[in-house]
Amino acid sequence: RGLPIQVIVKADLNDLIREAGFATTVTGTLIPIPELIDMAADAQPWLAVFKDATAVPLYFGRGKRLATREQRLVSFARPDGDVCSTPDCDLSAAHVEMHHAQLDWGLGGLTDITDLAPACPKHNRMVGDQPGQFTTRMVREGPDEGRCVWRLNTQPGAPPNPERINRRPDLPRRFAEHLQHVRTEIHGPDPASGDQPRLEVRRVIDHRTTSPPARELSITDLSPIEVHLAAIIGLTVTF
């Protein structure tokens, strides 16, 4: 597909600094960051710079139909460049073609990096204006800027289908965000932030027992996680 025969990897800068986590290869394989750092000693570095400027030519307009190696590398380096851009497709970037997503080449589309999106051979050939085919476009602004949306064409007169984006590349980020949310719910805010409250608890009354009087537990300075567990098992915390 125009990519060199070598290991192509992308990694998050924060993971490299922490020397923890995983990097992703162009075939979808995960490599531990410490191993990637060892490999990088003998690697040919490529730097992908987004949003503003780069010395590598990435805009060819109508002058070139097929994407270049540099364009394919930059496409892979995007946050969603790991796989085909079609919703629910998981074919890795090593096996995709570069699809003229904003406007088909035959209709005057441009071979510019901002108009290209990864698409597997199957889905790339399913783009068209007929019912059952797909219409695509590139998102130009908002949180999904730079991503490709796909819409399945309907029969004439039928309500249009919604536009969809392949969210598979978002799963690691969403998992990390959800994990952090759960940890905050259970343990409370990070103490380093200075926002974590300290709870002075004088009495904990156990309402599970039916024998009077209710059993009282004397605990002071209860942690947020203990308060959370007390609520789960039905204890009332009195401040």
pLDDT bracket for residue 191 (50, 70, 90): low
User: 199 and 117 share a domain?
Assistant: no
User: 200 and 166 share a domain?
Assistant: no
The answer to whether 146 and 138 have CB atoms below 8 angstroms apart is yes
The answer to whether 99 and 124 have CB atoms below 8 angstroms apart is yes
User: 61 and 108 share a domain?
Assistant: yes
pLDDT bracket for residue 188 (50, 70, 90): confident
pLDDT bracket for residue 204 (50, 70, 90): very low
* CA–CA gap between residue 231 and residue 217 (Å, rounded): 15
With respect to residue 196, please indicate whether it lies within any of the assigned structural domains: yes
Question: What digits encode the pLDDT tens for the residues 14-33?
Answer: 777 777 788 888 888 888 88
Show Cβ contacts of residue 181 under 8 Å, excluding neighbours closer than 6 positions. Answer: none
Per the DSSP assignment, residues forming a β-bridge with 148 are 138
User: 164 and 198 share a domain?
Assistant: no
User: What pLDDT score was predicted for residue 93?
Assistant: 92
* CA–CA gap between residue 144 and residue 218 (Å, rounded): 52
pLDDT at 231 over 80: no
User: 212 and 150 share a domain?
Assistant: no
46-50, 95-99, 206-210: which has the minimum mean pLDDT?
A: 206-210
pLDDT at 213 over 50: no
User: What pLDDT score was predicted for residue 83?
Assistant: 93
User: What pLDDT score was predicted for residue 171?
Assistant: 81
**Number of domains present in the structure of the chain:** 2
pLDDT bracket for residue 201 (50, 70, 90): very low
Strands (E), 109-234: 116-119, 134-138, 148-152, 203-206, 215-217
Domain span at residue 211?
Answer: 188-238
The answer to whether 137 and 149 have CB atoms below 8 angstroms apart is yes
Average pLDDT over residues 176-193: 76
The answer to whether 2 and 68 have CB atoms below 8 angstroms apart is yes
pLDDT at 205 over 50: no
pLDDT at 158 over 90: yes
For the entire predicted model, the pTM comes to 0.62
Place of tokens 């730097």: 47
With respect to residue 179, please indicate whether it lies within any of the assigned structural domains: no
∠ CA 213-217-222 to the nearest 5 degrees? Answer: 145
User: 99 and 200 share a domain?
Assistant: no
With respect to residue 20, please indicate whether it lies within any of the assigned structural domains: yes
User: What pLDDT score was predicted for residue 186?
Assistant: 85
Average pLDDT over residues 2-13: 70
Average of per-residue pLDDT values in the chain: 77
User: What pLDDT score was predicted for residue 92?
Assistant: 92
